[in-house]
Chains A and B, each alone.
Chain A
Amino acid sequence: MKKFSKILAILLIAVLMLNLAACGKKNEKTPDASNTASPSSTPVQNEVEQEPTLKPHKIAVAFASLSSADIMQKNYLENVVGPAFNTEFVFSEELSNAEEVISFLETAYASGCEGVMVFPTDGLDQVIAKADELGLYVVTNSADIVQSVKNLPHYVGNVSSGAKITAGIFSEVVMKLVSDGEKHNVIIVSGGAGMGSSQHYETTVSILQVLQSTYNLNYSSPIEEIARSTSPLEVDTGSDVKVYIYPGFPYGDSYVSGLSSVLQTGEYDTVICCFNAFSQFSVAIDEVEKAFGKNIRVVSLSSVDDTTASAFNTLDAFGNPSIDAVIVKPLCAMSAEMFVLLYNAIEGGVDQIRQTPGEATMFIMPMWYAYGADEYNALSNLDNSPETYAFKPEELKQFLIVYNPSVNYETIYTAWYTCTAQSLMNR
């Protein structure tokens, strides 16, 4: 066992030396903000007099799922960010509840981690409290700051796509879909809108609002009430346009069959999923398309992975793709921001990067969307390889206090807030 320790120590020294050698390279100049997708719109002092000596750090990453998109994110952190900043990452398995996350935090502490990125959103108050107790800086992926623990010293903040911003993106996409001059009957798969998920709720509300304005609908109940429905609901729209709210999550067989029976009425031709659910219904939708000889359009929250690519690029019997538009989380870019926050906190600058010192701060990384196969194919090539990452190591340096002591909340917030797919494609 002592031998193992020694080998580990030697390896760490070797890594440190390599990083020190790497730091000796000359810095590249940051590109001009107007022509390229340089994320920051505010000029930032990004030239460092000399490469600082980077201390070795260890950061844990708690995953909620291990899809191909998550693996891509893992690779980015482990193989790109980590070596560049002398940081080792410790990754979890799929964690589905707070208890598992807490156990992971404890093992992270045991393996010497100083910070943790938390993607599962269950029981975050306890998770954050445990991280704080263990002395681990924590950044979560939740849409809302956890109020009960917002003043804990190790709770840096959240990086999220923002419930209202995501809802706004959905509005834009749905608007495109329903503004073709024809009337469409829509099923809204509202997920946890009635169960406390602010993102699902805001999204459902915005979709209902778009439909209302496009078709001049006259809902019999307030939109907020309709959106919060916890059981399937055929909305009284005051017109011949049909809107159906389908809440809940696929925890049992009846979930898919419930939606399938609605589809099989043949009355609906548009399905909008507030969470990554479209693959659950693809078979049911396909059957209905064949049975009724019509195309059902689908918009969904999703991720950049093989399932989505296949849905876009595989055409059905009518020559249409299985999905029409997706809204995706740019995971690598998001985790880059989480890394920046944690790294700065570990290096002693936690209050420097908060909006209000002593209080956890919300950071926004908007979702990206793609309308149609071409846009998706272009999107899927973004942020997934050393050539296309939104935030390459060189670009990250300017946000790290070891390189740029004047970095603050504004610089970080703005950089990521303005990082859109279009801006990246232009770059």
Chain B
Amino acid sequence: MEKAISARSGLFTKLMSIKENRWIERLLPVAILAVLAVIFTVATNGRFATQKNIKIIMDQTLIVATVATGASFIYASGNVNIAMGACTALTATVAAKVYLATESVITMVASALFFGVFLMTVCALLSTIFNVRVMFVTIVMMVLLANIKAVILKGESIAFPYELISALQRSNISYIIFGAYFVFCYIIFHHTKVGRAIRFVGSNEVCSEQTGISPKKWLMVAFLISGIGVGLGAFLVIIRSGTITSSTVGSLNMDCMLAIVLGGMPIYGGSRSRSYAALIGAMTVSVLNNGLLMMGVDATVLQGVRGLLFLILVLAGSERPELLPSRE
């Protein structure tokens, strides 16, 4: 029995040391995505990997990837933002109204960016000034913003001219916007003080304060960057469907959380956070959806699979420290 215990503990130790390996930890989600893509391509006799299908996957990924990439700054700081969807939805609504008033796409985009940053800044200020955890502030904001949106829309929907939306779609501007924002976030997150400081705050707020890294200041910065993502995401929402209704981007918040977790980002934030986790995760979700459907799996079963996957990944990835937690 001692040998069995020894062997079992030996395997566990090996698994743990693999988990500690930073290259494994970084590349595992990418590897999973690649493996899934290969499996589906083979299983569908190449139908999965056609240009059209890949474009579909990317189209489905873009909005979530954009908003979630920005949200990863907030998650990295150890906070959870429940209002991403509500912020994006309201921003899209306001931007749509601006377009109706001005008929200018540039003004619409500018207003989306401004309003997205504004909303996220309000969330951050409420949290820092009143010392309330971000999650609770954003729960309140989520309800408030949804109601504001309902008041603005009054049960109607806002429809954009077909020609405008088609032209925007043909120009592939969604890809350009996402690409630029992704690169921007990647550089900031991984190659500047900003990303390092935010991750450090997420690891241990007390220690970061004692290192001269102010948790409040960097939380504001995280929300600011995330606000840009919200603004851009709102614009992409408009391009995708050409209408804004009361239920637009209803599930965006959960999709963002799912993408971030599936992409390998720890739900508690901290050092292991990666800005590209959102993109990997969003793509993984789309690939899974798309591939399983191509293979004939029922759409309702897919929901269950996604939920289960989310649970498994959060449990597997969550760092339950053996020592005392760093925050009360």
Interface residues of chain A, those whose CB is within 8 Å of chain B, are 1-2, 4-5, 8, 90-93, 96-103, 106-107, 109-112, 122-123, 125-126, 129, 134, 148-149, 192, 195-196, 248-249, 251-252
Contacts and interface: CB of A to CB of B under 8 A. Distances in A.
Nearest to A148: B162
Contacts of A111: 293-294, 296
Given A111-B294, A122-B157, A106 B162 contact: no
B12 to A, nearest CB: 30
B258 to A, nearest CB: 15
Contact of A126 (B42, B43, B243, B250): B243
Interface stretch (B51-59, B192-200, B225-233, B312-320): B51-59
B56 A106 contact: yes
B162 A126 contact: yes
B158 to A, nearest CB: 10
B50 to A, nearest CB: 10
Contacts of A8: 295-296
Nearest to B150: A251
Contact of A2 (B42, B162, B248, B296): B42
Contacts of A134: 52, 56
Interface of B: 39-40, 42-44, 52-53, 56, 59-60, 150, 153-157, 159, 161-163, 165-166, 237, 240-243, 245-250, 289-291, 293-296, 299-300
A129 B56 contact: no
A126 B293 contact: no
A126 B289 CA distance: 22
A252 B150 contact: yes
B299 A92 contact: yes
B62 to A, nearest CB: 12
Nearest to B151: A252
A1 B155 contact: no
Given A5-B43, A92-B299, A111-B293, A106 B246 contact: no
A126 B296 CA distance: 26
Given A97-B245, A110-B289, A134-B52, 20 more contacts: A1-B295, A4-B43, A8-B295, A97-B241, A97-B247, A99-B243, A107-B289, A107-B290, A109-B52, A110-B53, A110-B56, A111-B293, A111-B296, A123-B242, A123-B243, A123-B245, A125-B165, A126-B165, A196-B156, A251-B150
Given A4-B43, A252-B150, A99 B162 contact: no
Contacts of A96: 245-247, 250
B320 to A, nearest CB: 34
A251 B43 contact: no
A192 B246 CA distance: 15
A322 B296 CA distance: 45
A112 B159 contact: no
Contact of B241 (A126, A149, A248): A126
Contact of A5 (B44, B248, B250, B299): B44
Contacts of B163: 148
A93 B298 CA distance: 11
B246 A99 contact: no
Contacts of A106: 56, 59-60, 290
Contacts of A196: 156
Given A1-B295, A97-B157, A251 B290 contact: no
A419 B122 CA distance: 58
Contacts of B155: 195, 248-249, 251
A98 B244 CA distance: 8
A210 to B, nearest CB: 27
A109 B294 CA distance: 8
A91 B298 CA distance: 9
Minimum-distance CB pairs A-B, first 8: A123-B243, A98-B241, A148-B162, A99-B241, A96-B247, A125-B162, A251-B155, A126-B242
Contact of A129 (B53, B162, B247): B162
10 contacts: A1-B43, A2-B43, A8-B296, A96-B247, A98-B245, A102-B240, A107-B293, A110-B56, A126-B243, A148-B163
Contacts of B165: 125-126
Contact of A122 (B237, B243, B249): B243
